[in-house]
Amino acid sequence: MTRVNAESATEQRAGKLVVISGPSGAGKTTLLKRLYACAPAPLIVSVSATTRPPRPGERDGVDYHFLLKEEFERRRLRGDFLECCEVYQRGDWYGTLHSEVAPRLAAGKWVVLEIDVQGTLAVLQHYPAAVTIFIRPGSVDELERRLRQRGTESEAALQRRLDVARRELASVDRYRYQVVNDDVDRAVDELCKILSCCGG
C-alpha cells in the first residue's frame, strides 16, 4: 500500500465516501467483488448512469442506469449529477447521480464510486475527505494482455482504452492510495486495510 497524499483536514461527519479508479482491465471488478465480501463495514456501490449501450448480461439499475443521450442531458442540465463526463471520447457519457450518494452518506453509510480520474477530481471538489484509491495493473503490457483476453473490444476501442490507461496512470499521485493488482489476494488485503484504517 502506498500512501500518496497527506490526509485532508476536512472530516466527513456522516458516512464515508470511497472512490476507486483504475484502468479498464486492471482487474478492478474482481478485486471489488472480493472487497465487498470482506470490507470492515457494509459498502453500498453507487450505480452510475451511462449513455453507452448495455453489454450482454448487464442489467439496468444494477450495473448502470442506462439512459438515452437526451435523458442524460436533461438530467445533467437539471443538476442531478455529482459529476459526469465523456469517458472514452467516443460520445458515451458516464455520471454519478447525487441521489446515489448524498442520502446514503447522510444516513452514515459507506458509499463506493467506481469512476474514472476526471470524475474523481470533480468528486473531490464536493467531498474533499473522500478516500481515493487507484488500482493499477502490474504493467501496461499486462493490461493489454488482460484486455485482449477479455475480447469485448474492437482493436480501435482497445487502443483507445490503452491510451486512456496511460493517461490515467500518469494521474495516480492525485489519489490518496494506490494498490498494484499483481496478486489478487494481496491486493484485496491491502484494500481492506486501507478501509479499516479509514475508520472501519
Note whether 51 binds ligand 5GP by CB under 6 A: no
Minimum Å gap between C-beta 83 and ligand 5GP is: 6
Question: Site mask, ligand 5GP, residues 7-46, x = CB under 6 A?
Answer: --------------x--x----------------------
Task: Tell me if 115 contacts ligand 5GP by CB under 6 A.
Answer: yes
Task: Report the residue number, 94 or 127, with the smaller CB distance to ligand 5GP.
Answer: 94
| 100 binding ligand 5GP? (CB under 6 A) | no
Torsion angles phi and psi, residue 106, rounded to 5: -65, -30
- In the bound complex, which residue of the shown chain has the CB atom lying closest to ligand 5GP? 119
- Answer yes or no: are the C-beta atoms of 170 and 136 closer than 8 Å: no
Residue type (1 letter), 164:
V
Which stretch in 9-17, 81-89, 133-141, 178-186 sits in contact with ligand 5GP by CB under 6 A?
Answer: 81-89
| Chain residues in the site for ligand 5GP (CB under 6 A) | 21, 24, 48, 52, 83, 85, 87, 94-96, 114-116, 118-119
